[in-house]
Structure 1
C-alpha cells in the first residue's frame, strides 16, 4: 500500500526537496503541496492523506493552528501530522502535541530518518526527536502542580498499564517496553490497546501528553531511569 503524503511549508525549495525525496521512495507518494496554514487545511480536507508534513511558521495561519483545525472540530480528518521545523522551542513542542500532532522533527533530520518517521506516524506511533523528548521531560518536571482532571483520567488504569504508559512517555517502542518489563510484545500491544481506549487517545503521542499532564513521570518514575 502506498502512503499518501502532503507537504505543507511556505518555502518552495523546501517543498520541492521533500517531494523529490518522497516521490522517489517506494511506497510513498506526494499528493499535494500547501504554502500556508489555510491552504494546508483545505488540501488535507480535500485529499485525505495518510500523513501531513507540517511546517510551524507559515504566513497567516501557522502549522499548529492548521493541525488543530484538521484534527479537531466537527469534521476531523484521520491524518497523522508530522511537524517539521527549524526550531525546537518548548512552546512549539507542547502546542504541536496538544493540537494532535503525532510527531515532531527538526528540519536538519537526515533524509532516511524523515522517511522512517513518515512510516512510523502512519502506523500510529508517536515520534519525537531525542532533543525534543529531553526538553519535554525537563519542562514538565519543573511544573509544581498536576492538573486534577488529567490525574483522574489515570484512575482506572491498572498498575501494569501505568508501567507501560511510563515507558511510552519515555519514548520506548513496543519491543523496548517488552524488554524493559520482561513481557512479550503481544502483551505490550494488548496493554497499549487498553490505554488508548481508557484514555480516549488516538495514538501514542496523546498517551505521552496524558502521562505528563497527569504528573505520572514526576510522581512515580521508574527507578534508575531518567528519560
Structure 2
C-alpha cells in the first residue's frame, strides 16, 4: 500500500520532534520534511511535495493561515491537503483557516489518534473538524439556520442509540479521545471502540467528526 507522505511546519522543536516520533510509528505514514517557520515551510513544500502538511497557526514569521493561503490559493497551487494544528479555538480563527483552504482543523491538546484520523480523512478527500470545535463550523455551514430541535429522547429513539451510546456520543462531541472516554466512563478502550463503531453505524457517519456534527444538528447532545 502506498504511504501517505507527511510534512510539518511548526516552530517549537519539542513539538516537531514529538509529532515526528508519534506519526512515524503509523505504518501508513512516511515523514518527508519539516520546517520551523512559514518561509522555510514554503520552500520545503516545493522540494518535498507531500500529500498532507500539518501547519501550526502561531508561526514566528507569518501565521499558518497565510501559509495555507499561499499553498492553496497562491502561485504555488499546491495540491496537498492542509491540517491546521493549534490551541486556538476562536471562531474567527477557525473560519479564517477554512476560508484560506485548510482541509482539517485539529487542536494541539487532542490525542494523537485524532490527528492520525484527521490526516487519513483529509488524504481521502474529506474535510475533518476537531469535535471540540464542530459547533463553530456547523453554525456557519450552508443551511445551518436554527430549526425546531428534536428532543433527545425522540431523536435517540429514531436512531436506536442506547443510553451508554448517548454518553459516549456526548464525550465525542466534547472532543474526548477513546482513552479519555474510557477513563471517564470506567470502561475499557476496547468497549469504547465498540460503542463508537455502533454510533457511526446508527448515525450513518463516516467518522467521529461527522457523527459529532449530526449529533449537534439533531439535538442528540447538549
Report the TM-score range of the alignment, normalised by the length of the smaller protein.
Answer: 0.5 to 0.7
Q: How does 1:192-211 map to 2 (within 5 A)?
A: none
| Equivalent in the alignment of 2:210 | none
| Equivalent in the alignment of 2:135 | 134
Query: 3-state SS of the aligned residue for 2:218?
Result: coil
Offset at residue 46 of structure 1 (A): 1.5
The CA distance in 2 between the partners of 1:122 and 1:16, in whole Å, is 22
Offset at residue 30 of structure 1 (A): 1.2
| Equivalent in the alignment of 2:181 | none
Query: 3-state SS of the aligned residue for 2:53?
Result: strand
The CA distance in 2 between the partners of 1:226 and 1:79, in whole Å, is 35
| Equivalent in the alignment of 1:64 | 65
Q: How does 1:3-82 map to 2 (within 5 A)?
A: 3-82=4-83
1:138–1:60 distance in 2 versus 1, CA, 3 Å: same
TM-score of the superposed pair, with normalisation by structure 2:
0.63
TM-score of the superposed pair, with normalisation by structure 1:
0.62
Offset at residue 110 of structure 1 (A): 0.8
1:105 partnered with 2:106: yes
Specify every segment of 5 or more residues in structure 1 that has no aligned partner in the other structure, as ranges: 145-174, 186-223
Offset at residue 60 of structure 1 (A): 1.0
The CA distance in 1 between the partners of 2:68 and 2:79, in whole Å, is 11
| Equivalent in the alignment of 1:225 | 218
Displacement over 4 Å in runs of 4+ = 175-180
Query: 3-state SS of the aligned residue for 1:52?
Result: strand
The CA distance in 2 between the partners of 1:17 and 1:127, in whole Å, is 22
| Equivalent in the alignment of 1:87 | 88
Offset at residue 78 of structure 1 (A): 0.5
The CA distance in 1 between the partners of 2:204 and 2:129, in whole Å, is 21
The CA distance in 1 between the partners of 2:203 and 2:5, in whole Å, is 31
1:74–1:226 distance in 2 versus 1, CA, 3 Å: farther
Query: 3-state SS of the aligned residue for 1:21?
Result: helix
May I ask how many residue pairs the two structures share in their alignment? 158
Asked if the contact 1:45–1:70 (Cα under 8 Å) also holds between the matched residues in 2, the reply is no
Asked if the contact 1:37–1:58 (Cα under 8 Å) also holds between the matched residues in 2, the reply is yes
The CA distance in 1 between the partners of 2:79 and 2:127, in whole Å, is 15
Query: 3-state SS of the aligned residue for 2:8?
Result: strand
